[in-house]
Amino acid sequence: VSVTLPLAVTGRAMWYLTRSAGAVTLVLLTASVVLGILDTVRWSAPPRWPRFVLDALHRNVSLLVLAVLAVHVITAVIDSFAPIRLVDTVVPFVSAYRALWVGLGALALDLLLAVALTSALRHRIGFRGWRAVHWLAYACWPVALVHGLGSGTDASLKWMIVLSLACVGAVLAALAWRVTRAREIEPNTRILVLGLAAAGLVSLVAWSAQGPLAAGWSRRAGTPKALLASSTARAAAPAPTAAIPFSARVSGTARQSVSEDGTAASVDISTTLGQGARGTMTVKIAGQPLQGGGVSMTTSRVTLSLPSGGTYRGQIASLQGTSFQASVADSSGQTLLLRADLQIDPSTQAVSGSLEAQRG
């Protein structure tokens, strides 16, 4: 049976939900921090916004942070791609997947819970106690930011960099405004706070350049080997000689089939590389058939053969429509990260597009 392409793949839906909820949480947390900072300033000019509006906004945005964070965390646990347990969401640094970076997320969540709990019990614990814990909200923000950059699949994608930069810019601007505006802050404290913020910014940029934005981060961040690539034989093999990284055009065909009883479907894509590299790439996606065509992915297999550099096998790590990222490895364990952007002609099933490969 032949069904219309392009694929509408939902197998990784949870993973996408985790990632988008993570990004939204960061934006909301940033908004909450900025509103909190603005809220505490003793207004020297007649306020344009009445204080209670800021108060209410700050409170509601913070509640929204908790709600979206719950989605981020629950989907991360439900999703089967990364082995994240419920305990990993509250106990920092015990996760099998990117322990340090996911652990920072758990730490941010603990800090947020402490802030939320003391806010709810504010009348019981008194203003001073509440205020002391509320300072943790400021600590929570950089911890969450670094968590997102360190554990995110999207960290090196342009939109995530722009989003993170916008969040950093917003908080730094609010902080600068706060310390220069508030009359009760002493000049020395002012200089100290601005100095620390500048040092934080420089460290963040330096770390990002060496870490999440540099090649091989998936492996260095502590992604389990099995997820990086399902390579079996790790016997000594000649080092690949293909020029990597490369960017090439691919062209070929796609074929979709559905089992007799209609419960299983698969898509086989077979392509040849040109303009930038020579070789072949085949992709097999298997799962349940979707109404209206396409496959809800449960398993995948990607094979890249480079005549000058051996054969790499692995699986798709993230898939959106007909674009995917995959991690493949050769028999010696050399890992490549692939990024493919394919177009599939629905009538002829002809495949064309681009493929980028870099060392993982």
Residue 160 CB, shortest distance to ligand HEM, in Å, is 5
**What single-letter DSSP state applies at residue 349?**
-
Kindly list the distances between the CA atom of residue 65 and the CA atoms of 10, 234, 273, in Å, as whole numbers in the listed order: 26, 45, 45
What is the rounded distance in angstroms from the CA atom of residue 157 to the CA atom of residue 128? Answer: 42
When the beta carbons of 136 and 182 are compared against ligand HEM, the nearer one is 136
Q: In the set 37, 82, 221, 336, which binds ligand HEM (CB under 6 A)?
A: 82
CB of 135 to ligand HEM, least distance (A): 16
The binder of ligand HEM chosen from 34, 61, 112, 329 (CB under 6 A): 112
Q: How far is the CB of 25 from ligand HEM (least distance, A)?
A: 4
CB contact at 8 A, 102 and 92: no
Tell me how far, at minimum, the Cβ of 252 lies from ligand HEM, in Å.
29
Q: Which residue in 32, 62, 75, 153 binds ligand HEM (CB under 6 A)?
A: 153
Structure tokens at 252: 């070929």
- Please measure the distance between the N-terminal and C-terminal CA atoms of the chain and give it in whole angstroms: 38
By the rule CB under 6 A, 155 interacts with ligand HEM: yes
**Minimum distance between the CB of residue 6 and ligand HEM, rounded to whole angstroms?**
23
Tokens matching residue 254:
């796609």
Q: How far apart (Å, rounded) are the C-alpha atoms in residues 179 and 160?
A: 29
- If binding is defined by CB under 6 A, does position 144 make contact with ligand HEM? yes
Q: Would you state the structure tokens that stand for residue 183, as one six-digit string? A: 């009359």
Q: Which residue type occupies 199? A: A
Among 14, 38, 160, 337, which residue interacts with ligand HEM (rule: CB under 6 A)?
160
Of these, 5, 11, 19, 338, which contacts ligand HEM (CB under 6 A)? Answer: 19
Q: Does 89 bind ligand HEM (CB under 6 A)?
A: yes
Give min distance, CB of 206 to ligand HEM, in A.
Answer: 20
**Is 148 near ligand HEM (CB under 6 A)?**
yes
CB closest to ligand HEM, residue no: 152
Burial class of 34 by CB neighbour count within 10 A (0 to 12, 13 to 18, 19+) = buried
Mention every residue, 6+ apart, whose C-beta is less than 8 A from residue 304: 279, 280, 281, 311, 312, 313, 328, 336, 338, 357
The DSSP-derived string for 31-48 is HHHHHHHHHHS--SSPPS
Distance CA 164, CA 82 (A): 23
Within positions 26 to 65, which residues make up the interface with ligand HEM, using CB under 6 A? Answer: 26, 29
State the residues that interact with ligand HEM by CB under 6 A: 18-19, 22-23, 25-26, 29, 69, 72-73, 76, 82, 84, 88-89, 102, 105-106, 108-109, 112, 144, 147-148, 151-155, 160
